[in-house]
Every structure is written in structure tokens, then in C-alpha cells.
């Protein structure tokens, strides 16, 4: 699952970068906004430059993103709804095993559909990139994943150590999970 998440993160970065570059081309004719007003971070432009997408590739990624965004949003919505319904089935006053099984099957179907759409997006992106760009994309994705892991490690090191005896727990309050 970690590989799938990495692929999705990489794909999202490229999609966002391509959209940002396309917006940048449109914005060149207009005065540039101040950095606080600008809605697209410079990191996306840097990624786009690193991949070296030409104008046709940027347009192809933009079109793909516009065409496939509704599919992805609908799949996310179905998964969210299915998870909510599963949660409701689990915590009803009276538990019904057949309803639980049905709701669980729906969550699994919704997750499968989301995975299918994400992987098709990856495939379509792969077809837009040249072999050299795919190699560079893979390298950038690995670097991004390493940075993400380092940040996670830093965050974990900054969290206070948990106390084994719960002496800091207030009576009557449920302590959130870390």
C-alpha cells in the first residue's frame, strides 16, 4: 500500500504542477499577483521544470486532469459515504451482522474503484511522459518520499513522551489516540 500511496503522491504533484504551469502561461499576459495572493506554490513550477514538460504535455496533463477529476471526486464521495454507512452499522443500538457485511463489501468496492481510477490516472500520465521524464519522475518521487519520511521522523521526535501511568489524564475524559 505504501507504494500505491507514493505513486499517488507523485501523480498528484505532477498534475498540480502541470495545472500550475498552464495557469502560469495564461497569467503571463496579466500582471503577476503578489506572493501572498498567488494561489499556486512555486514548488509546483519547480517540479514542472525538473520534469521538463513541453507545452503539449502540459496541455495533455491539464486535459486529463479536467476530464478525470469528476471521476476521482465521485469515487472519493462514494468511499466517504460507504465508510460513514459502515460506521453507522457498527455503532447502531442493535448490531446486524448482515448489514455490517453488506456495508463492509460496499467499502471494499468503493476502495477498489478509487484504486482503479488512481492507477488509470498514473497510466495515462505515464503515456504522456517521455522515457527520460519517467525516469526523472521516479527519482523525484523517491526523493519526495524520503523527505516525507524525514519530516515524519522529526515530528515524532518532537512529540512529548507518553507517560506509562496515565497520571496526566483528567477524570471523565477520553484521551485521543496519538
DSSP notation for 78-126: HHHHHHHHHHHHHTSSS--HHHHHHHHHHHHHHHHHHHHHHHHHHHHHH
| 81 pLDDT tier (thresholds 50, 70, 90) | very high
Query: CA 21, 26, 32, 38 torsion: positive or negative?
Result: negative
- CATH code: domain of residue 27: 1.20.120.1490
Bin 134: left if φ > 0, else alpha if -120 < ψ < 50, else beta. Answer: alpha
Whole-model pTM: value is 0.60
Please indicate, yes or no, if residue 171 is contained in any of the structural domains.
no
Please indicate, yes or no, if residue 178 is contained in any of the structural domains.
no
Domain that holds residue 124: 2-31+38-151
pLDDT score at 36: 40
What cell does 90 get? 457498527
Count of domains for the chain = 1
Percent of the chain topping pLDDT 90: 48
Please indicate, yes or no, if residue 49 is contained in any of the structural domains.
yes
Please indicate, yes or no, if residue 100 is contained in any of the structural domains.
yes
Between 145 and 116, residue with greater pLDDT: 116
Please indicate, yes or no, if residue 165 is contained in any of the structural domains.
no
Please indicate, yes or no, if residue 166 is contained in any of the structural domains.
no
Amino acid at each position: 500500500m505504501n507504494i500505491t500511496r507514493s505513486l499517488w503522491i507523485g501523480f498528484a504533484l505532477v498534475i498540480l504542477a502541470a495545472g500550475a504551469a498552464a495557469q502560469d502561461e495564461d497569467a503571463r499576459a496579466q500582471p503577476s499577483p503578489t506572493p501572498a495572493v498567488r494561489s499556486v506554490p512555486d514548488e509546483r513550477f519547480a517540479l514542472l521544470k525538473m520534469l521538463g514538460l513541453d507545452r503539449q504535455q502540459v496541455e495533455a496533463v491539464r486535459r486529463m486532469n479536467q476530464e478525470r477529476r469528476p471521476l476521482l471526486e465521485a469515487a472519493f464521495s462514494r468511499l466517504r459515504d460507504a465508510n460513514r454507512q459502515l460506521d453507522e452499522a457498527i455503532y447502531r443500538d442493535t448490531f446486524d451482522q448482515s448489514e455490517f457485511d453488506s456495508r463492509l463489501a460496499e467499502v471494499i468496492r468503493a476502495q477498489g474503484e478509487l484504486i482503479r481510477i488512481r492507477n488509470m490516472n498514473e497510466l495515462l500520465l505515464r503515456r504522456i511522459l517521455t522515457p527520460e521524464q519517467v525516469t526523472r519522475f521516479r527519482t523525484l518521487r523517491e526523493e519526495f518520499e524520503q523527505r516525507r519520511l524525514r519530516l515524519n521522523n522529526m515530528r515524532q521526535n518532537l512529540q512529548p513522551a507518553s507517560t506509562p501511568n496515565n497520571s496526566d489524564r483528567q477524570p471523565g475524559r477520553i484521551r485521543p489516540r496519538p
